[in-house]
Every structure is written in C-alpha cells, then in structure tokens.
Amino acid sequence: MAQVATMKPAVHTIYGPVCGVSHLSVQKQLNRTETLATRNDVLGLRLGLERGRTITTQQLPEGVSIKSIFEKLHVVEDKMPVSVGGSAAIAARAALQLSDVKGTEVHLRGFVGNDTVGRYIWSTLAQQGIDPKFLTVLPGASARNYVIHETIETASGEKRVVSTTIHDPGVCAEIPHTVLSQHAKEFNLVANATNVLTFTGTHLMPKIHPFMEYLLTKAKEQDSQFAKSELDWKRKNPGATRPEGRSLISILDLDDDPARKWDLPSGMPKLVDLLLMNRTTASAFFALKEFYPPEIIDRLIKEGFINGVVTDGSCGAYIFSEQQGVFSFEARTIAYRVPILEAIAQLSTPRQLYGVGPVSAAALAVAAVENMEIQLAVLFAMAAAGKCVQTPWGKIGDAVTLGGCRSEIDELLKGLSRQNQEYRASMLAGQFAGLGSKVNYAIDTDND
C-alpha cells in the first residue's frame, strides 16, 4: 500500500543585513504644506535626506556624523534603546514564526561585528529561536540602522508614519572576499527538503552581489541533480510516494538602494524564482516619474524575471507569473492585481512601515513551501505585513508580534476559497494596450 505523501521540511537560508536598530519617534506632526516643503530636508537637518528613503553614513556630507545629527536633535546616541533588525534578521524571524511545516529550519547567513552590539544580536536571536551559529563574526563594529519616524499628512488628508533610515554598514561595508568564498564553498542544498534561498536588503551590502549570483548558480546546479535523482528513484519505485515539495526556491526582495543604481549581475533574472519589490523601488528601478504597474511588469518580464510581486501599500499588490512551479498556479504569462480585502484593510492604519518588506518576503517564502496558489500566497503575505505595521517600532523582531502568529493569519484569511475563485475568473478580463509583451492584465477594483 502506497504511503500518504507529506510535505518536505523547509530550510530557509537568508542572506542580508543584520543590524542593531535604534528608533527615533518625532512627535511633531507635519501638515501637507510642511510635508512638501521638507521632502528633501527631513527634520530640518539639511542633509539632502529624502523622506522615506535610506542613506548610508558614507553619503553624509563632510563633517556630518551620526553623533552630530543626534546632538542637533538633543538625543544622546549611547542612551538610545537598541533592538535587533535589518532585513535578514526580520525575514528570518518571520519565516520561523509563520511556517506551518514540521521540521522547518532557518539559517540566518548575516555578518556582525565583534562588538557589544554584535554580542547583543547573537544572544537576542538565540532567545527568539534563531540559531545564531550561521552568523559570521568579523572584526569591527556591527551594522546599525537609525530609523527616524515622522507623522505626516498626505494629499488626501490622511495621517501616516514615514520612516527614514540612516544606515551605518559597519563590517558589512567591506566583507572580505575570503569570507564570501568560504561561504560559497561550504554552501550546499539540504537533500530531501525544500530549500528556500532568500536575499533581502542586499543593496546595503554591495560586495555581496557577485557572490549572490555565484551562490544561486551553484544552487540551481544542485537542484538539477536532485531532480534527476528524484526521477531515477520514481522509476525504481513505481507507486511509492515521497514527501512533496520542490528542492529549491530562490527569492530576491529588492529594496531601497541608497546609491540609486539598483545594479544587479546580468544573470540574476534567470536565477531568481520570485522577485519582490514595493512601488517606490519599482518606479525608481526603471526611472519612472510615476508608479505605473503595467509598464513596470512588462519591463520586468523583458528583463527576464519569471515571477514577481509588486506591492502597492494599502492598495494591494500586482502579480505576474510566467512559469509554473513556484506556487501552485495553472496559468502562464499573466499579470493581475490582488486588492486588499476588507479583513486585511482593518489593519491598514500603520504605526510604522519598518520591516514590511522582509516580512512580506518571508511570508511569500512560507507560502511557496506550502504550495499555496499565488493569489492566496499574496493575500497571506499582505496579512502578515498588515500585522507587522501594527507593531510598535523597536518591537520588530519580537517573538510574539513580528508578522503576527500563524494562527492569527489563518484566522484572518478564513473563507478566502470563494474569493479565490472570483480572482481566477476575473483574470481573463481587461488588457493594457501599447505594451510589447503579450501579457493579460486583470485589474480588480473591489475592496480598495
């Protein structure tokens, strides 16, 4: 009698920044006029610091330092609370917390210094259930994020919190080539498991990009070998079953680039199974003055990306899929919008947006492992992000609050099977004219 198939255990390997994070909440609320007048002058610091973006300490004007900035703000840097953050650390915690597959492991492949902050990061991650043994300790100071939160008024009169980050890369500014070479040498996919390889926030670690391309190429080669072995085993054992799941899923969470270049190795699009971008990054990536999803999706497909999600805040997300396999999804060459559902919209009054990107990336990784349909996967990710924005800053990474507990997300998304059918039926409707690719777009305007 054939065995009942089960899911393969998942191994999430996550590369990206791991930082000590300090949050500064600005109590003054800026009205619409003040918001526009200070767009490139956050807090009146006159640093060319654009609101809602990231700047590194190397980009600060000559003579300006983190210390001098906080002196102007009458803040003592040494007395600011420090939490564990950075894209990779946030994604790691979310992946572990949101997973519903027995035996899930999370390997956080970040870099920290041998300083007090590095030791704090190490011990805190261990307390949160992330084994820090995969972190590499380098001589020097750990990376730091200084996040400034301002309450502003939008054009519609809505009050929202915008976060601007000053990033000190510390040891991540120049990761030694020998260290990356050793990482590449030691890396191997785990047999009989679904290996999820996620890169997030990598434009804060520019030296990692050639390594990233090499590592993904090596992983794809091993994945091909695993697929051949699986076929050989099935031929030798007809009728028998093994745990289900892919051997490899690669995800790139493309976030803000302080250099405004977003340069990636030319071979990356074909190596990435799923690309995630927010509307700001997507527009800047193609130097567009306005956010226009049809053109963005069309150009991403022309670049060679095969599956992607472009998030649009409280308006939902735009999806394109050119290849089966990443999610359980029967259609090909199609792009459409998943709007925010009413249940998720109840979470749309954020306290902050810090951490939303990596939480979404981790949730999509979990969804792919569990073979969710792509529409449900994106709703799952938006629900996790919705819980994240309700988290007070300084608590991102907390074992209870990050991305919401899985039971909370499942409860939030109950009854979506019927709505999923409605999305599927709507995919054939509508087309944007004037685009080079033969891509069908269905734009659903319900539940905005």
Answer yes or no: is pLDDT of 28 > 80: no
Answer yes or no: is pLDDT of 141 > 90: yes
pLDDT band at 3 (very low <50, low <70, confident <90, very high): very low
pLDDT band at 280 (very low <50, low <70, confident <90, very high): confident
In angstroms, the CA 219 to CA 158 distance is 46
Model pTM score: 0.84
Average pLDDT over residues 267-279: 90
Residue labelled with tokens 């990336």 = 361
Give a yes or no: residue 448 inside a domain: no
Angle among Cα 314, 334, 261 to the nearest 5 degrees reads 60
Structure tokens at 111: 């870099």
In angstroms, the CA 351 to CA 15 distance is 27
Give a yes or no: residue 284 inside a domain: yes
Tell me which of 51 and 282 has the higher pLDDT: 282
Answer yes or no: is pLDDT of 227 > 50: yes
Instruction: Note the pLDDT of residue 252.
Output: 93
In angstroms, the CA 205 to CA 15 distance is 10
Strand partners, 252: 199, 275
Structure tokens at 318: 């735009």
Strand partners, 166: 55, 146
Q: Do 370 and 338 contact (CB within 8 A), yes or no? A: no
Q: Do 406 and 99 contact (CB within 8 A), yes or no? A: yes
pLDDT band at 15 (very low <50, low <70, confident <90, very high): very high
Task: Measure Cα distances from 255 to 139, 190, 260, 358 in Å.
Answer: 27, 28, 11, 9
Instruction: Note the pLDDT of residue 1.
Output: 32
Q: Do 165 and 54 contact (CB within 8 A), yes or no? A: yes
Give a yes or no: residue 447 inside a domain: no
Radius of gyration of the chain (CA): 22
Strand partners, 151: 29, 161
Give a yes or no: residue 234 inside a domain: yes
Instruction: Note the pLDDT of residue 397.
Output: 45
Instruction: Note the pLDDT of residue 258.
Output: 83
pLDDT band at 5 (very low <50, low <70, confident <90, very high): very low
Tell me which of 256 and 195 has the higher pLDDT: 195
Percent of the chain predicted with pLDDT > 90: 16
Give a yes or no: residue 253 inside a domain: yes
Range of the domain at 196: 10-442
Count of domains forming the chain: 1
Complete DSSP assignment for 203-227: GGSGGGHHHHHHHHHHHHHHHHHHH
Give a yes or no: residue 61 inside a domain: yes
Give a yes or no: residue 275 inside a domain: yes
Tell me which of 162 and 396 has the higher pLDDT: 162
Task: List all residues 6 or more positions away from 71 whose beta carbon is below 8 Å from its beta carbon.
Answer: none
Task: List all residues 6 or more positions away from 429 whose beta carbon is below 8 Å from its beta carbon.
Answer: 442
Tens digits of per-residue pLDDT, 291-338? Answer: 888 889 889 988 989 888 898 876 778 888 776 556 644 444 566 677
pLDDT band at 432 (very low <50, low <70, confident <90, very high): very low
- Residue 161 carries which side chain, given as an amino acid letter? V
Q: Give 407-416's long-range contacts (Cβ < 8 A, gap of 24+).
A: 409/98, 409/380, 409/383, 409/384, 412/343, 412/344, 412/383, 413/343, 413/376, 413/379, 413/380, 413/383, 416/341, 416/376, 416/379
Q: What is the residue-averaged pLDDT of the chain? A: 77
CATH classification at residue 219: 3.40.1190.20
Indicate the helix (H) or strand (E) that contains 151: strand 144-153
Task: Measure Cα distances from 350 to 166, 389, 391 in Å.
Answer: 21, 5, 8
Strand partners, 251: 198, 274
Tens digits of per-residue pLDDT, 73-131? Answer: 777 767 778 888 888 998 998 898 888 888 889 999 999 999 999 999 999 888 888 88
Indicate the helix (H) or strand (E) that contains 57: none
Of 102-116, 146-160, 341-355, 389-403, give the lowest mean pLDDT range.
389-403
Q: Do 115 and 382 contact (CB within 8 A), yes or no? A: no
Percent of the chain predicted with pLDDT > 70: 74
Answer yes or no: is pLDDT of 14 > 90: yes
Compute φ and ψ for 112, nearest 5 degrees: -130, 160
In angstroms, the CA 201 to CA 95 distance is 16
Complete DSSP assignment for 342-353: HHHHTT-S-S--
pLDDT band at 408 (very low <50, low <70, confident <90, very high): confident
Give a yes or no: residue 1 inside a domain: no
Instruction: Note the pLDDT of residue 394.
Output: 47
DSSP 8-state class, residue 143: P
Residue labelled with tokens 């990233």 = 212
